[in-house]
Amino acid sequence: MQRPILIIEDDPDISESLKYNFEREGLTAITALTGEAGLAAALNERDPPSLIILDLMLPGMSGSELCRRLRREPATRRTPIIMLTAKASESERVAGLDLGADDYITKPFSVRELLARVRAVMRRTDESKGKTYEDDHLVIDFDDIRVVCDGGKVKLTNKEFNLLTVLAKSADRVVTRQQLLDHVWGYSYYGDARTLDVHIRRLRQKLGDCGHCIETVVGVGYRFVGCQRPSANGA
């Protein structure tokens, strides 16, 4: 059974238009006009959404607050979220993405572009499913969103886990900086690329003794080398 796309948007014209266009593409869609209604629909155990379109400017519970709540809930912490808003500054885009959104699109927008973003996010989500990585010291459960280093659980943010997932699934291959930005922040990200370096540094710190599993390839990107051996070049 196809899981629906949940549209949380307080403008009924936009909401119904998106629903109509998704259904024309063969996708199931449901709508919610408030943050509270959106939260209830997102946590519906019988029919959980496959993806959430989230307007930031909502009555009552704001889109930002709702995004934080969704990322704290076990049932929705990995559900893809595309933020939809009139706010277009770089700082606002970065703030939205750092809340845990997978992509960000500003109003007014092209329905065709939004559909392309939806397909891209769903494709990235499908690619991240399944399989567990395990070596002498590190375990990554991609389905259960769980990381363990030397028997101790590692608590990561959504972005940090996504980064680790992309790197681990390309083990021993260089992943360029642009590829990481595309996969984790979405192809619409035009912010400071140093954001990636900050997240990698935090990820290594949280991994502790397993932090050397991520190797820096100077001028290119990063490579996941695992934890069977210390990394000589993991600066």
Task: Note whether residue 17 is domain-resident.
Answer: yes
Task: Note whether residue 78 is domain-resident.
Answer: yes
Same domain, 23 and 99: yes
* pLDDT (0 to 100) of residue 107: 82
Same domain, 21 and 98: yes
Same domain, 14 and 119: yes
* CATH number of the domain within which 179 lies: 1.10.10.10
Task: Note whether residue 72 is domain-resident.
Answer: yes
- Residue range 49-71: average pLDDT? 91
Query: Last residue of a domain, which of 127, 161, 185?
Result: 127
For residue 55, give Cα distances in angstroms to 6, 144, 213. 11, 28, 37
Same domain, 123 and 16: yes
Range of 115's domain? Answer: 5-127
Task: Note whether residue 233 is domain-resident.
Answer: no
Give the amino acid at 231: S
* pLDDT (0 to 100) of residue 216: 94
Task: Note whether residue 43 is domain-resident.
Answer: yes
With beta carbons less than 8 A apart as the criterion, state whether 33 and 7 touch: no
Angle value at C-alpha 155, between 96 and 209, nearest 5 degrees: 125
* pLDDT (0 to 100) of residue 1: 58
Task: Note whether residue 14 is domain-resident.
Answer: yes
Same domain, 21 and 109: yes
Structural domain tally of the chain? 2
Decide: pTM greater than 0.75.
Answer: no
* pLDDT (0 to 100) of residue 89: 63
Model confidence over 146-178: pLDDT tens digits? 999 999 999 998 889 989 999 998 888 899 988
* CATH number of the domain within which 108 lies: 3.40.50.2300
Same domain, 112 and 137: no
Same domain, 144 and 114: no
Whether 97 has a pLDDT exceeding 90, the answer reads no
Of 185 and 196, the structure prediction assigns the larger pLDDT to 196
Query: Last residue of a domain, which of 74, 96, 127?
Result: 127
Supply 132's token pair.
């567990």
Cα distance between residue 188 and residue 205, in whole Å: 28
Query: Last residue of a domain, which of 103, 127, 151?
Result: 127
Task: Note whether residue 176 is domain-resident.
Answer: yes
Same domain, 17 and 119: yes
Radius of gyration of the chain (CA): 18
Same domain, 106 and 174: no
Same domain, 157 and 212: yes
